A and B are shown apart, each in its own frame.
Chain A
């Protein structure tokens, strides 16, 4: 048995549970990790104020996970390597940039992915650096990292060591191939994970190479998966006092996003498909179902007929003789003759502005959307989810004000908040090492001079 032990979690629904402190608090755990901190540093979200994350993760797949926690008020402390100026995180200084300023503090993606976090530096190649990390872990609830599998253990921090330091710690490791298996030590980034997991294969047109996703979809989905792992492990800890390690393998998380394809082919006993056989814009049940040209250069409209009623409505809008053919009245016939149908439909859609035609079809009850650019969906006349507050402005201490991505959820009582930009390198060394860990000013100066911070 490790860590404080309660009885197993309550088995009746919490509607009838007492509304007092959590079992975790009854064990003496702090209810507010921000208590006593300077007001300018304090997290604005309330939901996760009792959580401190010692965060060695970065890039997009790691930072994207702890971003969610920080937005809800968790105290996320990013630990970065001073010897390469945090350069392990390739977005820290990399493009895009807001203006002509360059350098390790000016990467816009880093600012986007790390708002509301605190930032410290620690050289973990030094004994004093490792000792400080151990002290930070001892007062944290969660440790996160997304090094390749096994790297953090080789740095001296296997789960067994973390557990010695803090018996109830939740440790979530996120890597391309996980903490075991023949590819454990291999390195990945989003497009590699997508390729290895089937997501690239299933995104393409017939007779063409795989199109892939055009961005690191699995850096996003890997981050969400990691966030869910942290939160679910905390739920268990809050009820029982038990921590644990969680291994997130993003290739496996990616395969899990192709589950219907796998099940269909397994139950049908079908052999693996060769490249170039997928038509990703089509659907097994709906026709027409595709992306068709619209008026203008590289303008497109997506539309789908879910059933025969949708087709009747679309045919009425088209109003041309071919669309009134009774042979097209059944989904089975439309699916069979889809190539010809798509040609006729594409010739019709090409005469219209994508947004205007989509609005007309939606009004008629047919699912349709222009294929929209960032300018259209963020600042266009019909922005994404109006009135959502999806693009908040944060204040970065070097960059200044910058718009970043908000969260696509709203909690009615304890909503998210993003106002402070990403931390500069070591920006919160004084607060974290001085105030939280009690290192005095003289020692801090010595640590900095010795290259530990």
Chain B
């Protein structure tokens, strides 16, 4: 398993013969040629990575001494070296990195102008890169970008085709440095946390791990940036893209939001299943081997009901499950439709019996056997895997999902999740490990954007 391309000729995904470009055999992602300047920050690293792994030429700009995000724990081997922050290494793949002292500019230079004030200093170097760039990605307070001479209302006079994307906790206008946030407080305030937890409400609600506030906001940042770029292709004009992480999370709560918008009801959290306005049956079961499985949406088709009856018999559980007659009724009635649940008094008991049958089977079988047994009968179910198991699971292995990425500086081989999307013609690819502090400063400032363009 190694870093690899996945595209056969002709644009269909899934094969192995990579498209070769004319400049030396490096497959190009769909965003090849796109130039992105990213001011290193908590909310910009992830969208920058998405763009970079899609082939964009992303340069992350750090202050002298390194970005604050290099100090984020955990670290490789328990150290706190600036090159060994796990999150730095993960969120900065495929980028190049330079150091510019823009904070000095922010602190000392007059604000608000759109003239060329940069000269030979780091601000001038920044402006020269920006003048030849497609996307500026940053999450600074408005006062700090103003000190760089950037104003969302006027920047297109100087940078007419620049797409400038700002990702901040509450949108550009409302995100001052005086309103401190973390991933936890954002997820708590914006909705996801209250849906997540246990039937026992003496236990606190739960925040899903993994930096998901950054992921949700960053996904919208990328989608909106690409939208602005597609418009620019037709119009020639750039524009400002303002992204609110809080707003992004607010519209990423599913039923908690849509239920309230529809009828004003609030949902209530439940163990391992959807938070709902009225309590629902358990769907998460501890299997015979101690692992957990998750039942999917109950069966609707008659064939699924028939398969459940057959499976109950095969495992020898008919005696223990008298409601098998309801399953047989489901077969006779041609299945159960969602709409009929509200109108047909027999539909709900049949529907409930199918869930009860699945729970009984789950308790009697190892997790993997239950999962495969359901799915091979066209019944939706899953098993709860840890991330480290998921990336090494049979399906991910067969699809060569994981990326093993050698770091020439340390000799370590990093393991990263692979492509979230497989482009048949222009493959997603991690082209290089995260940049070391200032690794590409000299090259970029000497040769400009073209430096090393095709080596990554």
Complexed CA–CA distance, A5 and B286 (Å): 56
Complexed CA–CA distance, A8 and B32 (Å): 10
Q: Please choose the segment from B100-108, B345-353, B415-423 that sits at the chain A interface, where 4 or more of its residues have CB less than 8 A away.
A: B415-423
| Contacting pair B185 A303 (CB below 8 A) | yes
| Contacting pair A370 B188 (CB below 8 A) | yes
Complexed CA–CA distance, A204 and B384 (Å): 12
**Contacting B253 at CB < 8 Å: which of A188, A225, A235, A374?**
A374
| Contacting pair A15 B162 (CB below 8 A) | yes
| Contacting pair B297 A189 (CB below 8 A) | yes
Complexed CA–CA distance, A375 and B261 (Å): 9
Least CB distance, A22 to chain B, in whole angstroms = 4
| Contacting pair B417 A192 (CB below 8 A) | no
Indicate if A292 sits at the interface (CB-CB under 8 A): yes
| Contacting pair B253 A215 (CB below 8 A) | yes
Least CB distance, B251 to chain A, in whole angstroms = 4
Complexed CA–CA distance, A245 and B273 (Å): 34
| Contacting pair B11 A272 (CB below 8 A) | no
Complexed CA–CA distance, A261 and B159 (Å): 39
16 pairs from A and B in contact (CB 8 Å cutoff): A15-B133, A19-B160, A195-B384, A202-B387, A209-B272, A211-B206, A214-B273, A224-B219, A228-B226, A234-B226, A256-B420, A272-B388, A280-B209, A303-B185, A366-B180, A385-B244
Q: Please choose the segment from B85-93, B115-123, B138-146, B326-334 that sits at the chain A interface, where 4 or more of its residues have CB less than 8 A away.
A: B85-93
Most-contacted residue by chain B among A234, A362, A406, A410 (CB, 10 A): A410
Type the 1/0 row for A208-220, where 1 means its CB is closer than 8 Å to any CB of B. Answer: 1111111111011
Indicate if B207 sits at the interface (CB-CB under 8 A): yes
| Contacting pair A15 B258 (CB below 8 A) | no
Least CB distance, A111 to chain B, in whole angstroms = 9
Cβ < 8 Å to B, chain A residues 229-251: 229, 231-236, 238-239, 242-249, 251
Contacts of B419 in A (CB 8 A): 252
**Contacting A266 at CB < 8 Å: which of B204, B227, B414?**
B414
The residue on B at minimum CB distance from A258 is: B387
| Contacting pair B206 A252 (CB below 8 A) | no
Q: Please choose the segment from B308-316, B354-362, B392-400, B438-446 that sits at the chain A interface, where 4 or more of its residues have CB less than 8 A away.
A: B392-400
Least CB distance, A295 to chain B, in whole angstroms = 15
Type the 1/0 row for A40-52, where 1 means its CB is closer than 8 Å to any CB of B. Answer: 0000001110110
Indicate if B292 sits at the interface (CB-CB under 8 A): yes
**Contacting A407 at CB < 8 Å: which of B13, B251, B421?**
B251
Contacts of A261 in B (CB 8 A): 209-210, 387-388
Indicate if A34 sits at the interface (CB-CB under 8 A): no
Complexed CA–CA distance, A180 and B419 (Å): 14
Complexed CA–CA distance, A244 and B427 (Å): 11
Contacts of A375 in B (CB 8 A): 260, 264, 266
Indicate if A339 sits at the interface (CB-CB under 8 A): no
| Contacting pair A411 B241 (CB below 8 A) | yes
Contacts of A403 in B (CB 8 A): 261
**Contacting A189 at CB < 8 Å: which of B12, B292, B380?**
B380
The residue on B at minimum CB distance from A11 is: B33
Complexed CA–CA distance, A9 and B34 (Å): 9
Least CB distance, A67 to chain B, in whole angstroms = 10
Indicate if B325 sits at the interface (CB-CB under 8 A): no
**Contacting A385 at CB < 8 Å: which of B247, B379, B382?**
B247
Indicate if B132 sits at the interface (CB-CB under 8 A): yes
Indicate if B161 sits at the interface (CB-CB under 8 A): yes
Least CB distance, B426 to chain A, in whole angstroms = 5
Complexed CA–CA distance, A244 and B428 (Å): 13
Indicate if A264 sits at the interface (CB-CB under 8 A): yes
| Contacting pair B152 A72 (CB below 8 A) | no
Indicate if B386 sits at the interface (CB-CB under 8 A): yes
Contacts of B290 in A (CB 8 A): 274-275
**Contacting A262 at CB < 8 Å: which of B201, B220, B286, B387?**
B387
Indicate if B67 sits at the interface (CB-CB under 8 A): no
Indicate if A16 sits at the interface (CB-CB under 8 A): yes
Contacts of B296 in A (CB 8 A): 187-189, 191-192
Contacts of A97 in B (CB 8 A): 262-263
Cβ < 8 Å to A, chain B residues 121-161: 131-134, 152-153, 159-161
**Contacting A248 at CB < 8 Å: which of B11, B421, B453?**
B421
Least CB distance, B381 to chain A, in whole angstroms = 7
Type the 1/0 row for B214-237, where 1 means its CB is closer than 8 Å to any CB of A. Answer: 011101111110111111111111
Indicate if B451 sits at the interface (CB-CB under 8 A): no
**Contacting B219 at CB < 8 Å: which of A10, A221, A310, A410?**
A221
| Contacting pair A19 B237 (CB below 8 A) | yes
Q: Please choose the segment from A86-94, A419-427, A428-436 that sits at the chain B interface, where 4 or more of its residues have CB less than 8 A away.
A: A86-94
| Contacting pair A159 B424 (CB below 8 A) | yes
Indicate if B412 sits at the interface (CB-CB under 8 A): yes
Taking A236-B426, A254-B390 as given, write out 16 further A-B residue pairs in contact, using a Cβ cutoff of 8 Å, ordered by the A residue number.
A96-B259, A187-B380, A188-B380, A212-B272, A213-B196, A214-B192, A234-B230, A236-B425, A244-B12, A247-B424, A257-B210, A260-B86, A367-B180, A374-B256, A391-B261, A410-B171
Cβ < 8 Å to B, chain A residues 385-436: 385-388, 390-391, 402-414
Contacts of B76 in A (CB 8 A): 267
Indicate if B211 sits at the interface (CB-CB under 8 A): yes
Most-contacted residue by chain B among A8, A172, A280, A385 (CB, 10 A): A385
**Contacting B338 at CB < 8 Å: which of A93, A96, A227, A371?**
A93
Least CB distance, A442 to chain B, in whole angstroms = 33
| Contacting pair A196 B382 (CB below 8 A) | yes
| Contacting pair B257 A405 (CB below 8 A) | yes
Indicate if B307 sits at the interface (CB-CB under 8 A): no
| Contacting pair B231 A213 (CB below 8 A) | no
Cβ < 8 Å to A, chain B residues 161-204: 161-162, 170-171, 173-174, 178-182, 184-198, 201, 203-204
Indicate if B25 sits at the interface (CB-CB under 8 A): no
Contacts of A377 in B (CB 8 A): 189-191, 250
| Contacting pair B227 A47 (CB below 8 A) | yes
Least CB distance, B70 to chain A, in whole angstroms = 13
**Contacting A257 at CB < 8 Å: which of B171, B193, B215, B414?**
B215
| Contacting pair A372 B190 (CB below 8 A) | yes
Type the 1/0 row for B371-393, where 1 means its CB is closer than 8 Å to any CB of A. Answer: 00001001111111111111101
Indicate if A445 sits at the interface (CB-CB under 8 A): no
Indicate if A115 sits at the interface (CB-CB under 8 A): no
The residue on A at minimum CB distance from B398 is: A181
Contacts of A280 in B (CB 8 A): 206-209
| Contacting pair B242 A205 (CB below 8 A) | no
Contacts of A391 in B (CB 8 A): 261
**Contacting B195 at CB < 8 Å: which of A48, A109, A215?**
A215
| Contacting pair B382 A191 (CB below 8 A) | yes
**In the complex with contacts A244-B423, A404-B261, A408-B244, A221-B216 CB distance below 8 A:** yes
Q: Please choose the segment from A116-124, A128-136, A281-289 that sits at the chain B interface, where 4 or more of its residues have CB less than 8 A away.
A: A281-289
**In the complex with contacts A187-B378, A246-B423, A408-B220, A371-B294 CB distance below 8 A:** no
Contacts of B271 in A (CB 8 A): 209, 211-212
Indicate if A102 sits at the interface (CB-CB under 8 A): yes
| Contacting pair B395 A182 (CB below 8 A) | yes
| Contacting pair B206 A109 (CB below 8 A) | no
The residue on A at minimum CB distance from B36 is: A13
Indicate if B77 sits at the interface (CB-CB under 8 A): yes
Least CB distance, B163 to chain A, in whole angstroms = 9
| Contacting pair B227 A72 (CB below 8 A) | yes
| Contacting pair B182 A48 (CB below 8 A) | no
Complexed CA–CA distance, A257 and B50 (Å): 12
